[in-house]
Structures are given as structure tokens and as C-alpha cells.
Chains A and B, each alone.
Chain A
Amino acid sequence: MRLLKPLVPALIAIILIVLDARFSYLDNLKRNSTALLSPIYFLVDLPGQMMNWVSDKGSNIEHLIIENGQLTNELLELKAKLQIYNNLVLENQKISHLIDVSYALPKNTFKLARIKSISQSRLKKQLVINKGSNDDILSTQIVVGANGVVGQIIQSTPLYATVQLATDPTQHIPVKNVRNGARGITKGIASNEGGMKVEFMTFDADVKLGDTFVTSSIGGSYPAGYPVGKVIEISAPLDEAFLWIKLKPFENMNELEFVLVVSEPL
């Protein structure tokens, strides 16, 4: 009799796990409920925000002048690099016309967001950013850093959004090898190391150590061309049908402060 009491709540919990993990029936309920809970994150983040504010106010003028000088130099350097990039884009367009390519890279728009909190353990790898649905941040949008892909928005409330990192074991990204276009799907490795593996690449696939994988637009959930990671380990297990390829992400998730949320043009 004593064990019967927890049976109903336990069964409810198990049913919810199955419904959430295998189907998407609870997505709307979760989204709406999370919006109600967003003030908790706001309150937890308040001391940090205040520290940032005090730190910003406390910066002396000399430090700001030096920083301004450095940023101006960096801006000039980036403008110079952008000219080369623009030339490459023009050349690419000309070549595309010549060979009559039917697709073109979309002109995405970016929204800058500050990271509020990072939650990285072997069980889940997520971060929370300070922009949400009030800033047109929507679920499934891709998040990038200065060096490469960070992850994908999985939850958006009016005040903040949750990003599932590319290294999360439940996060899958369609990718292609820059060198030869060979396609695969990355999946985070359930460990504290924060690596990824590329799945579904057969033994005859041409992959070498140091190869770079970028996002491919297969499936339509990720825009193409953003760097994901570099191959650091390849093996061919006898009992598996596919290669074991380990990627090191270009973006160091522990050093992030700001990220860009990429949205497709309307």
C-alpha cells in the first residue's frame, strides 16, 4: 500500500518523459510555462548585471582611450579584410553565373546577445542569452561566435533565450567537409570534454586529420557555411558501419561573452 502512493505521480512523470523525448506534444506547454518562469533568471542575473554596471561606470578614461585605440585598429584591419572578402563574393557570383548554379548563400541578419549563464555538464550543455522573443529571437535559430557555430536556440521567452550548444549530446547539425563536400551529421559527445563526433560517414569517405567541417543547409534547419569544428581523431571500429570521427569545435564555449543570433531573411 505504501508503494502504491507514489505510483500515480511516478507514472505521470514517466509518461511525460516519453512524450517529451519521443514526440513534440509538450513543446507549446513548455514554451508558455518557461515564459512564466523567466523572472527567476532575471533575478538570479541581477547581481551580475549590477557588477557589470558598476564595472562599466568605474572604468577610468585612460583605460577607455587605450581600448578605443585598439578597437579602431581592429576595425581598420577588419575593413581591409572585408574588402578582400567582398572581392571574393563578387568573383564567386560571377563564377556562379558562368556555371549556372541554382542556389546562392542567403544574406542573414545577426543580433548581438550577451551570455547570462552557461550550464555545461556531461548531461547537458546549454547557455542562456539576454535576448528573447521580444527581440525576435525564435526557436531553431542558429547562434554563432567569432570563430564558429555555438549552437541553436531551443527555447525563447520574452526576456531570454536558451541555446543548446553544438557539443550537447542531443544536438545534431548537418555538416560537410570543406575539402571535398562529404556530408555527415555532428552530435555532441556526452562527456565533460565538450567535443563532437560526425556520424554516418562510411569507411570509404575521404576524411583526414585537420579537415574542417562547416554547416550544410541539408534539412533546412541550419544556414550553410558556418565553421563547426576541426577533425582531431579518426578511427574505423570493426563492429560499426561508419567511421568514428571526432571534431574539436572552433568556438571555445567557456570563453564566450557575446554571441550572434543568425536569422534568415524574410
Chain B
Amino acid sequence: MIRQRPLILLFKLTLISTFLSVISLPEMIQSAAPYWVMIFFIYWLIYVETKVVYSFALLLGLLLDLLHGNVFGQNAIALIGSAIFIVNVKKSFYVSNLSTQQVYIFIASLIYLIITIGVHLMIQGFDFSYLVFLAPITGAILWPIVHFLLAKIKH
């Protein structure tokens, strides 16, 4: 199924996605920026046979929390939530066309968003705005490009 060792691929994807996630962007674009680490992790999850999905999700999420200075565990729990959904639809995801995959990415991003907002609500409150839905939408829109580029990296 895959030509690289899973851990090497995960390392590469983590490196690229963390770089993308710490790049400083203008405020509006920042709100619309996709959850890069989650999207890259989903790609790895789909195309690699592994049994330690959630432990990797936990570690990646904690790495992201450290990089962004967030509450420790916030991204980890969000990434685990998205991973649970993707693992359940993995077979369907693998054989689906790109537009169906985009729907799956949107739902996974939405789960990620809802969990993140939930954590924020519990800790510091949250002022709702429809702008927060931009990130899942851009994530779904950019999925075909990400998929194409990651396929190049994979091989």
C-alpha cells in the first residue's frame, strides 16, 4: 500500500504541517487557515496500516499545544476526536472520490473545531462568530491539492 516506512512518512508530514501551522498570517487568513496538522494526520491515517493511531494523535496534539502555547491537551483531545471519526470511515474514505473525501475532511475538521471550542468554553469562555466555520471549509476545499502534493511526498 505504501512505499515508505510509516514512521518516516509521519515524521515528514508532521514536520511540514507544524511548519505550516506556525507561520504567522494576517488575522482574517488566520481564522480561515485549515487545521494543517489534522489534515496531514488524516492522510497518514488513511494510507498507512497502523494500530497506534490514538497514541500518535495524542503526541501530535501535545506537540501542537506546545508550539502554539495552548492549554496542554487541547489539540490532543481534538485530534483524537477527529481520528475516531476517520478510523470509523477509513474503508469508505479510501475508496471514495475526492469530493466525498472533502465531505469527510469537513466533518473531521468540524469535530476538531467543536472540541476546541468546548475546551475554550470550559476554560475562558467563547464569543461565537460564523467565521470559525471558515477553517473546516477551507480545509475541505484545499484537500484535493493537499492530497495531490502529499501523494508526491509519499512516493
Contacts and interface: CB of A to CB of B under 8 A. Distances in A.
Which interface residue of B53, B71, B81 has the most chain A CB atoms within 10 A? B71
B73 A14 contact: yes
Contact of A17 (B66, B74, B132): B74
Contacts, number: 120
Interface string A124-135: 101010000000
Contact of B119 (A17, A40, A189): A17
Contacts of A33: 66
B12 interface: no
Interface residues of A, number: 47
Interface of A: 2-3, 5-6, 8-10, 12-17, 19-21, 26, 30, 33-34, 37, 40-41, 43-44, 116-124, 126, 128, 154-155, 162, 164, 169-170, 189-192, 254
Interface in B56-78: 57-58, 61-63, 66-74, 76-77
Interface string B17-33: 01100111001001100
A9 B72 CA distance: 13
Contact of A189 (B69, B87, B127): B127
21 contacts: A5-B53, A6-B84, A10-B80, A10-B81, A12-B58, A13-B61, A13-B73, A16-B73, A17-B77, A21-B123, A26-B72, A40-B18, A116-B24, A117-B22, A124-B68, A154-B69, A162-B69, A170-B123, A190-B120, A192-B27, A192-B31
Interface size class of B (residues with CB under 8 A): 35 or more
Contacts of A190: 120, 124-127
Contact of A16 (B22, B54, B76, B124): B76
Contacts of B124: 169-170, 190
The 10 tightest CB contacts between A and B, nearest first, are: A117-B24, A16-B73, A20-B72, A17-B73, A13-B77, A9-B58, A13-B76, A191-B127, A13-B73, A9-B54
**Which has the most chain A C-beta neighbours within 10 Å: B18, B116, B124?**
B124
Given A10-B81, A17-B119, A117-B24, 12 more contacts: A3-B84, A13-B80, A14-B77, A21-B122, A40-B18, A43-B19, A120-B27, A121-B27, A122-B31, A122-B129, A126-B69, A192-B129
Contacts of B22: 40-41, 44, 117
